[in-house]
Structures are given as C-alpha cells and as structure tokens.
C-alpha cells in the first residue's frame, strides 16, 4: 500500500503533466491564431514568403530549441505564407497553407522529429525556389 508521501508524489506528477499539456495546447493555439500582417500580391511573392517561412523554421531548429521569439517569428511568417498561398497559389499551392499551419503547430508543440520531415515535404511540394528581383 502506498504511503501518503508516495500518493502525494503521484498526484503532483499528474497535476504537473496536466499543467504542461495545457501550456503546450495554449502555445499551439496562440501560434495558429496569429493573423497575417504582410499579404503577398502575386504567386511569386507568395512562394517567396513560403520559402522565408521554411528558412526561418530551419534556422530556429538548428539548436533543437525554439525560443518564444523564434516561435513568434515562425508563427507570423507562417500566417503570411499561408495567406499568400491561399490568395495567389492556385489550386495546387492553396492546399499547402494547411501544411504550413500543421507545421507551425508541430513546432509550437515541440514535435521536432516530425517537424524535420514536414519541412522536407513542404519544400518538395513548393517546387523550385523563386529568384528574388534584383535590387537597384
């Protein structure tokens, strides 16, 4: 029969686990609630935004940690990229906005092993990286 101390420790573990799960759920919901603040005006810019999202995600994951600032940047770039693909991607690329949202959620939840595979799949689906216009 467990001692009162053992029962208390078990209760604390359950409570801590529930609290952690709530925090993870909140972090994911907040990341997905970010609204776009820069809308692509054409298909090429929408693709560039999607590749910027990929690049920022890979950079943030390089140390296998995501800081709150990195998550905020990824969430914003993801919102912009998803909105641009929805508006200018055509039927083929519009469905990738869901992949971007799924990837943002995986990052927010800390599912880093899944994120690596998802990044590769998204990049392959986007096709060739568009060239940036020359700056004057």
* Chain segment 22-46, per-residue pLDDT in tens: 899 999 999 999 999 999 999 999 9
Predicted confidence at residue 130, as pLDDT, reads: 86
Asked whether residue 98 is assigned to any structural domain, the reply reads: yes
| Torsion of the alpha carbons at 116, 114, 17 and 24, rounded to the nearest 10 | 70
Asked whether residue 135 is assigned to any structural domain, the reply reads: no
Whole-model pTM: value is: 0.84
* Chain segment 82-93, per-residue pLDDT in tens: 999 999 999 889
Query: For residue 123, which of 99, 94, 102 has the smallest C-alpha distance?
Result: 99
Predicted confidence at residue 60, as pLDDT, reads: 95
Query: For residue 107, which of 30, 38, 22 has the smallest C-alpha distance?
Result: 30
Predicted confidence at residue 63, as pLDDT, reads: 93
Asked whether residue 55 is assigned to any structural domain, the reply reads: yes
In terms of residue numbers, what domain contains 86? 4-33+40-126
Asked whether residue 95 is assigned to any structural domain, the reply reads: yes
Asked whether residue 132 is assigned to any structural domain, the reply reads: no
Asked whether residue 89 is assigned to any structural domain, the reply reads: yes
Asked whether residue 134 is assigned to any structural domain, the reply reads: no
Query: For residue 58, which of 74, 46, 72, 42 has the smallest C-alpha distance?
Result: 74
* Chain segment 45-58, per-residue pLDDT in tens: 999 999 999 999 99
User: For the chain, what is the domain count?
Assistant: 1
DSSP E strands: which ranges in 63-134?
none
């Amino acid at each position: 029969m467990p001692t009162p101390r053992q029962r208390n420790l078990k209760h604390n573990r359950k409570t801590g686990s529930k609290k952690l799960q709530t925090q993870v759920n909140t972090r994911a919901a907040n990341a997905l609630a970010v609204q776009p603040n820069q809308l692509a005006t054409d298909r090429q810019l929408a693709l560039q935004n999607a590749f910027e999202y990929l690049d920022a995600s890979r950079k943030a994951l390089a140390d296998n940690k995501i800081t709150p600032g990195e998550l905020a940047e990824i969430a914003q770039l993801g919102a912009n990229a998803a909105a641009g693909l929805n508006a200018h991607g055509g039927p083929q690329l519009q469905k990738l906005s869901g992949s971007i949202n799924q990837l943002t959620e995986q990052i927010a939840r800390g599912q880093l092993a899944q994120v690596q595979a998802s990044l590769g799949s998204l990049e392959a689906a986007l096709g060739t990286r568009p060239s940036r216009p020359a700056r004057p």
